Amino acid sequence: MSQTKQIKTALISVFHKDGLDEIIKLLAQQDVKFISTGGTRAFIEGLGFSCDAVEDLTGYPSILGGRVKTLHPKIFGGILNRRDNKSDRQQVFSYGIPEIDLVIVDLYPFSETVASGASDEDIIEKIDIGGISLIRAAAKNYNDVTIVASKHQYDALHDILASAGAVTTLEQRRWFAREAFAVSSAYDTAIFNYFNGQNVGESPNAFRSTVYGEMSLRYGENPHQKGSFFGDFNAMFEQLHGKEISYNNLLDIDAAVSLIADFEQPTFAVLKHNNACGVASRDSIHTAWIDALAGDPVSAFGGVLIANRPIDKATAEEINKIFFEVIIAPAYADEALEILFTKKNRIVLVQKSAAATARRFRSALNGVLVQDADTKVETPEDLRQVTDRPVEACQIDDLLFANKIVKHSKSNAIVLAKNRQLLASGVGQTSRVDALKQAIAKAESFGFDLNGAVMASDAFFPFADCVEIADKAGITAVIQPGGSVRDQETIDYCNAHDIAMVMTGFRHFKH
């Protein structure tokens, strides 16, 4: 069996025609015969080349509103017949089936239609039948047929035609087949997820995900580990400056955009190892940066910075005084960029969209953990007063501010805040008492006065020990989800020592 195959007949039916004209011209130069339908046929003829209609070959018009066009033995027989199989050759001759050597086809835009908010009827009509069948048939018979299943493979085919003419090798056809099955698999996954509740609020009964766009990384978390990112990074960010983004950068960037999404006031945050080490909300982003950095100027070294307002020159001048890996903002003044670009490796990102994944998943054991994203952001209406002393209006702002930060901190987590500024946090501890002691020690080491500060906990207090420790440090108000069988002991301590406490009913574990 010959490893190379001459392309004599091509079936072409596509939606995306950008770049297709050059391919058509190269094929025509090699006297390749064209078969097509509708708009693609008109496109080919518009380039000045003859093209046979599928309807003329099959003897049937496009029927059922276009649902049936290419589903016919003369089409699929032309694709699936094995050139080295005697019986196949005899049947092809007997039934007058033309051999089809190249199939260029793409699929109805199903995912785009779902994303547009279209009606169920419109979405169902975008489930491609003929196209997906053509792709699978041609890919299955890659020994004899070349399949181009997406506009993303146009360049690869163009390069082959330009260098070798209308001839493909087995290795090339196998590569195109692999890419075709990737297209087919992703398409079916999108359809399955639609019916499986991914887009209608139902619980899934299986996990399937297809993510394109591999971004090579220098390594994983450590140099001896390989790492890659699959996703459309450029859809969320524009990188203006700096070195290649690393695996650890991506984890911190993910944590940063998730955190900042919960804040509406001008806010600056500094993150290190996925945890906030400095956050402040102020009337200006410049002041927010000054106070965010003050929260922990030591941990800020080599961190990831994120702001929810444009960066001006004055703010950039202050930021430029420290070493950091990444900065993220919705925009930058030209003068600010000149300052930030002075360090060649510094990664400067413009955030174009928020992280909007409805579900989060991660590998575990020999499977995958899947859950809804934690999109709950507590409001004053969620706060249930449980102590004799009510929280004051100014404390409510600080309590909700602290609660947003603790939500995005690794459990067990405690956050101390005052005047919409993170004073310190204790994160990733095996006991909540240790998390609190860590936070108090850090706050005091940076000279913060905890008198009048508030405390947020990502989960309930199993005993009254945490509020006792907080009380002795000067904490006057507490926010926590509640739900412990010993909640009353904690409430009783607060009442006895004039501490205000509210419960939200929402736990925010983050492991």
> Tokens at residue 509, please?
């574990």
Q: Where are the beta strands (DSSP E) in 221-323?
A: 228-230, 237-241, 267-272, 275-281, 303-307
491 Rama sector, left if φ>0, alpha if ψ -120 to 50, beta otherwise: alpha
Confirm if 415 and 434 have CB atoms less than 8 A apart.
Answer: no
Q: Strand pairing of 324-329 and 303-307?
A: parallel
Tokens (6 digits) for 94: 């007997």
Of the residues 8, 17, 126, 140, which is catalytic? 140
Q: What is the DSSP letter of 356?
A: -
Q: Give me 216's structure tokens.
A: 């090579």
Alpha carbons 120 and 117: distance in angstroms, whole number: 9
Please list the helix, strand and coil fractions of the chain in percent, rounded to the nearest 5, in that order.
40, 20, 40
Write down the catalytic residue from 17, 273, 437, 497: 273
Contacts 24+ apart (CB under 8 A), 371-378: 374/407, 374/508, 374/510, 376/407, 376/506, 376/508, 377/262, 377/404, 377/407, 378/403, 378/479, 378/504, 378/506
511 is an active site residue: no
Q: For residue 494, give both structure tokens.
A: 């607060």
Give the separation between CA 180 and CA 173, rounded to whole angstroms: 10
| Helical packing angle, 86-94 and 73-80, nearest 10° | 150
Chain position carrying tokens 């078969």: 35
Residue environment code for 293-310, b if the CB has 16+ CB neighbours within 10 A, otherwise e: bbbbeebbeebbbbbbbe
Q: Cα separation of 190 and 19, whole Å?
A: 26
Given phi > 0 = left and psi -120 to 50 = alpha, else beta, which region is 425? beta
Per the annotation, the verdict on 273 as an active-site residue is: yes
Q: Which residues contact 449 (CB under 8 A, 6 or more apart)?
A: 474
Q: What is the distance between the alpha carbons of residues 490 and 464, in angstroms, rounded to a whole number? A: 4
Active site (catalytic) residues: 140, 273
